Structure 1
Amino acid sequence: MPPERQRSSVPVLTDSLEIGGVTLPNRLYRAPLLEHAGNGPDAVDTLIDELEPAAVAGAGLVCQGATIVRAEGGCAAPGMTRVHDPEFVAQLARLTGAIHDHGGRIAIQLEHGGLRSMETWHRGFRERNPDLEQLAVSRSPRPLRLLDRLGFLEYDPHVLTTAECRELAADFGRSAAAAVDAGYDLVHLAGANMGILHQFASPFYNRRDDEFGDHARFFEAVLAEIRDRAGDVPVLTKVPAETEAPPGVAPTLSAAECVRLCQRLDAMGYDALVPVNGSAFWDMSVIRGAFPGRSWRDERFREGYVDAFGSRPRATLVAAANWVESFVYSREPAWNAGLCRRVRDRIDAPVLCVGGIRDRSTVDRLLGDAADAVGMARPFYAEPELPARLLREDAAADGVAAVCEDCNNCVVPQATGEPGVCRTPAVLERAGELRKDGAYDRDP
């Protein structure tokens, strides 16, 4: 086993961090979230409204949420933005300029959902787009075929040929090149959370017998395409460990295998890695926390749930499964820290940690131990300018923490195309009090 890496100093949150030649002004970042901006005439303004406040508040890095590298298919949720068209991406220079005006850096997250896409799980979308193919790395795993036979999901996937795998990697490269031309500082790959990159990495999904049967090969092909088309832009990626897969689901990617995969990605030239624990399925292992009963009961979203899941009984069944999972995947602070620590001990590239990080004291404990930078995502729905509080010199001593309660009421309506916003009155009231008290004000 290779020796553990030694890093000479313990950083603090306000220290700068270099990733692939780009210097972040500090080590706090807004992790990718669904913005539901789409590609319409208001898309760029929507993204500016969503992302600029984090830069105004001092976030060292702002990550735009998952964007799709193809013109059709691949969206994991309604309203995702596509970045296959260079003319559209060029308009995003207004967004990158707004972030840069405040001294921040911005990354674009690139994705294709594969079997996690709406053409698999969203009943209404599938009925309205009957000719849209589901793309798969291999034939659907047996548990998914069983769900298909039972009528819970519908799988009729097209398994990518070797040439089609290469073409999909090229789509990532083309989208990255357009993004760099528009002023993005970094490219962030959606390498986990059951997207297509995760599926290539997972032994549960990937049973190919060609070159892409190597679970790191698609990551390598994507990186090569980005380097060829977009130059030396820093590239980071999430890396999955399927440690939370349900009992009996096999084979899955263990924590040890995730560490080895990270070592290979580091050797390939990835500029930073974000290791995350999760499942082999799209479930609450990704978000964790409480059952979002308020959102499931809200009549405003009822018809959207019926459209997404096919009927009221099906929507009720999904809600029941969500309730059960809330006990299985209860929230724990910084749930990826142990995995990040193991990876950080073995690679040279910076390691970024996300998942259940909510207060400055936890941030300070992670830096230099489990991570080189830390990210938060859902708390920004309630506090778009959260970094202004967390970056204060006395934040740890004052016990500064996000007001987010991990109730997940922001998440479920996104299946209907609703934007990600905080919907919990007590949380919004607390954020309003902080704003009234000037907690989000910053010195020039």
Structure 2
Amino acid sequence: MSRLENPLEIGGLTLSNRLYRAPLLECAGNGDDAVETLVSDLEPAAAAGAGLVCQGATIVRGEGGCAAPGMTRVHDPEFVAELSTLTDAIHAHGSRIAIQLEHGGLRSMETWHAGYRQANPNLQQLAVSRPPWPLRLLDRLGFLSYDAHVMTTEEVYELAADFGRSAAYAVDAGYDAIHLAGANMGIVQQFLSPFYNCRVDEFRDGVRFLELVHDEIRKRAGDVPLMTKVPAETEAPPFVRSRLSAVDAVRICERLAGIGYDALVPVNASVFWDMSIVRGEFPTRAWRDERYREGYAEAFGGRGRAALVAFGNWVESLAYDFDPAWNAGLCRAVRKRVDVPILAEGGIRERGEMERLLGRDCDMVGMARPFYAEPELPARLLGDTAGDTRVVCENCNNCAVPQATGEPGVCRTPEVLKRAGELRKQGAYERHGHSEAE
């Protein structure tokens, strides 16, 4: 048996194999069709055999904090209870499900989305500290809008309690694990990063916030397996002097393992929301698509500014070209120093590559964007005996940019969809030899 098919235990939870669907933006919101949308998006991965399915980032408060349109909020216990329909569907296929908890902080829509700011003029961003000077400069130039509220010590404690409460609601609804959104410039990264965190209280040490969140989750949700992303800000532009190095990230992981986190997801990141997160080609098709022009104008404050954002996106695509398994080295460095499972994601695209990573760099491998084109991708990968299966995703990023307008995350590249359709006709996504309830 290859490593990919081997079971793995995380915090007492046994997973049937070492392949997971990494968190993606589902754009399900909280409306009447939210649960149905989430089931439609997530169940195929479980039906196809993924050992773990991670629901995308969900917001722990009822107001503010969304990094993109259509994010689901999990502050309301009545709504979260309805998500038992989703967890039951995942469990019926023998898979397990984690929910990712987040608050956007300075990256929230009340910062960058012009239409949202206009509709919610009184919303302030939650901030760890005063926004750093590059962000204040963008505010003066009119590209962002900061009216940040720097949290008091008491308010930080209350935010951690919100993470704990949402985790408890999720466990009651049948979720098997809690995954914190510790990177992608969300509030957790803002606590960890010296670029953002200039506090003078106990939370000047950003790990202290993650320790407090851990304690709140343990107090309210019990011994549910708990994991988090951990960023190394290695992709930040050279002018950013204060950043998390790879050495810093390894040390943070050591501390988190000691605190009681059950698994860690080390990632190379920037201090900005840029294409270091989704490396690959400039999404020409998505930017030129007439269907989204008005949505871009609303989001970015007019067609001219949308064009400037597109230009910036193009410049970033030159700096952040696709790099296979771009977090492998960092994962390997962390794995040498901690005794908890290490999950690797970011640019993993081939079955053979997965086998090389497992046991050397990590204990579990995940993918995100490829699931937009192939929702049942695990069936192809787990059914591969030769080890030469590669995803059809071309890393073109046409799936991601329209999400700024509230569009769902789906593959929009005809050539990729054609290839997936051909594979479906060939029966490549059929899962053989498994019952519905394993």
- When normalised by structure 1's length, the TM-score is 0.97
Q: Within 2, Cα distance between the matches of 1:134 and 1:11? A: 47
2:28 to 24, 34, 37: 37
2:272 to 274, 281, 285: 281
Residue 395 of structure 1, CA deviation:
4.3
Q: Within 1, Cα distance between the matches of 2:192 and 2:321? A: 26
Hey, what does 2:408 align to over in structure 1? 419
Q: Within 2, Cα distance between the matches of 1:98 and 1:383? A: 19
2:18 to 11, 23, 27: 27
**Are residues 1:149 and 2:140 paired?**
yes
Hey, what does 1:4 align to over in structure 2? none
**Are residues 1:409 and 2:409 paired?**
no
**Are residues 1:236 and 2:227 paired?**
yes
* Root mean square deviation, CA, Å: 0.8
The runs of at least 4 consecutive aligned structure 1 residues that moved more than 2 Å come to none
Sequence identity of aligned pairs in percent? 73
Q: Within 1, Cα distance between the matches of 2:172 and 2:235? A: 39
Q: Amino acid of the residue matched to residue 421 of structure 2?
A: G
Residue 272 of structure 1, CA deviation:
0.1
Q: Within 1, Cα distance between the matches of 2:142 and 2:384? A: 55
Local SS of the residue matching 1:228 = helix
Local SS of the residue matching 1:15 = coil
Hey, what does 1:297 align to over in structure 2? 288
Contiguous gaps of at least 5 residues in structure 1: 1-9
Q: Within 2, Cα distance between the matches of 1:418 and 1:270? A: 34
1:360–1:390 CA contact under 8 A, matched in 2: yes
Q: Within 2, Cα distance between the matches of 1:393 and 1:379? A: 17
Q: Amino acid of the residue matched to residue 331 of structure 1?
A: F
Q: Within 1, Cα distance between the matches of 2:211 and 2:112? A: 29
Q: Within 2, Cα distance between the matches of 1:142 and 1:295? A: 31
Q: Within 1, Cα distance between the matches of 2:126 and 2:59? A: 14
Deviations 1:77-102 (A, max 9, x none): 00000000000000000000000000
Q: Within 2, Cα distance between the matches of 1:259 and 1:418? A: 36
1:433 to 408, 422, 426: 422
Q: Amino acid of the residue matched to residue 309 of structure 2?
A: V
2:174 to 158, 183, 187: 183
Hey, what does 1:3 align to over in structure 2? none
Q: Amino acid of the residue matched to residue 429 of structure 1?
A: K
Hey, what does 2:103 align to over in structure 1? 112
Residue 250 of structure 1, CA deviation:
2.1
**Are residues 1:159 and 2:174 paired?**
no
With 92-101 and 143-152 compared, the bigger mean Cα shift is at 143-152
Local SS of the residue matching 1:153 = coil
1:11–1:367 CA contact under 8 A, matched in 2: no
Q: Within 2, Cα distance between the matches of 1:74 and 1:277? A: 23
Give the aligned length.
433
Q: Within 2, Cα distance between the matches of 1:20 and 1:146? A: 44
1:131 to 122, 125, 143: 122
Q: Within 2, Cα distance between the matches of 1:387 and 1:113? A: 30
**Are residues 1:72 and 2:63 paired?**
yes
Q: Amino acid of the residue matched to residue 298 of structure 1?
A: D
**Are residues 1:380 and 2:371 paired?**
yes
Hey, what does 1:355 align to over in structure 2? 346
Contiguous gaps of at least 5 residues in structure 2: none
Q: Within 2, Cα distance between the matches of 1:42 and 1:322? A: 32
1:270 to 239, 251, 261: 261
Q: Within 1, Cα distance between the matches of 2:210 and 2:351? A: 33
2:195 to 187, 192, 204: 204
Residue 419 of structure 1, CA deviation:
0.1
**Are residues 1:442 and 2:431 paired?**
yes
Hey, what does 1:340 align to over in structure 2? 331
Question: Residues 338 and 88 from structure 1, CA distance in 2 versus in 1: closer, same or farther, beyond 3 angstroms?
Answer: same
Deviations 1:159-199 (A, max 9, x none): 00000000000000000000000000000000001000000
- When normalised by structure 2's length, the TM-score is 0.98
Local SS of the residue matching 1:193 = coil
Hey, what does 1:91 align to over in structure 2? 82
Hey, what does 1:7 align to over in structure 2? none
Q: Amino acid of the residue matched to residue 326 of structure 2?
A: W
Q: Within 2, Cα distance between the matches of 1:112 and 1:210? A: 21
Deviations 1:284-306 (A, max 9, x none): 00011000010000000000000
